[in-house]
C-alpha cells in the first residue's frame, strides 16, 4: 500500500501524473461532432474520452410521459464495454442508472423547461474511455450538446471534482486518485449565475477540508467554462465562414 500511495503525491507536492495539487488535467472540447444529432459535443478530459448527443425539443414518446406545463429532460449515461480495463457488460449497471439521474438533475436548472410543454429533450452520453471523473466530464459535454441543439439555456453547466489524496485536498482526481484517495467532491456549477446545480461527496472530510474542496472545484469549473465557451464560438465561426464561402 505504501508503494502505491507514495506514487500519488511526492514530497514536492507533484501528483502521479505530473500535476500540482490545484491543476486541471489537459482538456479538449469540440462542438457539433455528430451530424445526425440536433446538438453534440466531444470531450477529452485527461484520458477520459466522452461523446454527448442531444435531440429535441421534440414530441415526447411515449406520450404518457409528457408534462402539460413543461419540457421533460431525459439523460442516458453509458460506458462502452471497452472503456475500462476489464471489459464491462453492455447492459446498464446500477451506477449508470444513478449517474443518468444525477446528470439530468444537474442540467435541469439551466433549461427554460416551461417554454416547451409536452415536449422532450434526450441527451445520450457515451463514455469511450474512462479515467476517473466521467460524471463531471459528461455534464460538461452534455451541457454543450444541449446548447448546440439550440435549446434556450440560462447558462452553461460545467462540472469539476476535488477530493482528498494523502491528507491533501487536490483538484480534478484521475482514476488512481479516485480509487485510492479518501474523498471525492463532484460539483456542477453555472458560473454566470454563481449557482451550484450538483454537490455530492463520497468519503470523509473535515468541515474546513470540505469548504476548500468545494472552492477548488468551483475554481476548476470557471476555467473549464472558458474552454466551453470557446468551443461553442469555434463551431459557429466555422459555420459563419462556410456560409460566407457559399454566398461568394
- pLDDT tens, 163-175? 999 889 999 999 9
Q: Is the CB of residue 196 less than 8 Å from the CB of residue 216?
A: no
Model confidence at 243, pLDDT cuts 50, 70, 90, reads low
- pLDDT for residue 233 is more than 70: yes
- pLDDT for residue 98 is more than 70: yes
Could you please report the per-residue DSSP string of 58-100? EE-SSGGG-BTTB-EEEEEEEE-TTSSSSPPPSSPPHHHHHHH
Domain boundaries defined on the chain: 23-247
pLDDT averaged over every residue in the chain: 91
- pLDDT for residue 4 is more than 50: no
- For helices 134-148 and 94-107, give the axis angle rounded to 10 degrees: 50
Instruction: Kindly tell me the sign of the dihedral angle through the C-alpha atoms of 146, 147, 150, 155.
Output: positive
Model confidence at 86, pLDDT cuts 50, 70, 90, reads confident
Instruction: Kindly tell me the sign of the dihedral angle through the C-alpha atoms of 148, 158, 79, 22.
Output: positive
Q: How many helices (H) and strands (E) does the chain have?
A: 5, 10
Phi, psi of 185 (to 5 degrees): -125, 90
pTM, two decimal places: 0.90
CATH architecture of 23-247: 2-Layer Sandwich (3.30)
Peptide bond into 62 cis (omega under 30): yes
Instruction: Give the integer Cα–Cα distance in Å for 65 and 63.
Output: 5
Amino acid at each position: 500500500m505504501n508503494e502505491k500511495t507514495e506514487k500519488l503525491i511526492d514530497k514536492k507536492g507533484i501528483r502521479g501524473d505530473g500535476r500540482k495539487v490545484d491543476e486541471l488535467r489537459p482538456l479538449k472540447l469540440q462542438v457539433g461532432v455528430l451530424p445526425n444529432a440536433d446538438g453534440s459535443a466531444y470531450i477529452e478530459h485527461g484520458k477520459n474520452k466522452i461523446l454527448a448527443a442531444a435531440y429535441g425539443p421534440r414530441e415526447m414518446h411515449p406520450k404518457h410521459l409528457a408534462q402539460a406545463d413543461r419540457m421533460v429532460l431525459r439523460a442516458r449515461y453509458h460506458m462502452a464495454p471497452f472503456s475500462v480495463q476489464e471489459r464491462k457488460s453492455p447492459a446498464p449497471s446500477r451506477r449508470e442508472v444513478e449517474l443518468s439521474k444525477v446528470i439530468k438533475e444537474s442540467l435541469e436548472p439551466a433549461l427554460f423547461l416551461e417554454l416547451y410543454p409536452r415536449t422532450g429533450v434526450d441527451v445520450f452520453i457515451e463514455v469511450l474511455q474512462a479515467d476517473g471523473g466521467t460524471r463531471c466530464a459528461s455534464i460538461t459535454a452534455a451541457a454543450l450538446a444541449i446548447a448546440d441543439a439550440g435549446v434556450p439555456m440560462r447558462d452553461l453547466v460545467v462540472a469539476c471534482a476535488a477530493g482528498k489524496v494523502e491528507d491533501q485536498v487536490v483538484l480534478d482526481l484521475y482514476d488512481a486518485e479516485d480509487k485510492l484517495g479518501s474523498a471525492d467532491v463532484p460539483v456542477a456549477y453555472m458560473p454566470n449565475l454563481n449557482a451550484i446545480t450538483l454537490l455530492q461527496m463520497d468519503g470523509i472530510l473535515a468541515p474546513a477540508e470540505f469548504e476548500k474542496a468545494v472552492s477548488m472545484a468551483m475554481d476548476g469549473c470557471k476555467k473549464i467554462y472558458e474552454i466551453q465557451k470557446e468551443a461553442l464560438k469555434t463551431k459557429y465561426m466555422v459555420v459563419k465562414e462556410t456560409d460566407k464561402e457559399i454566398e461568394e
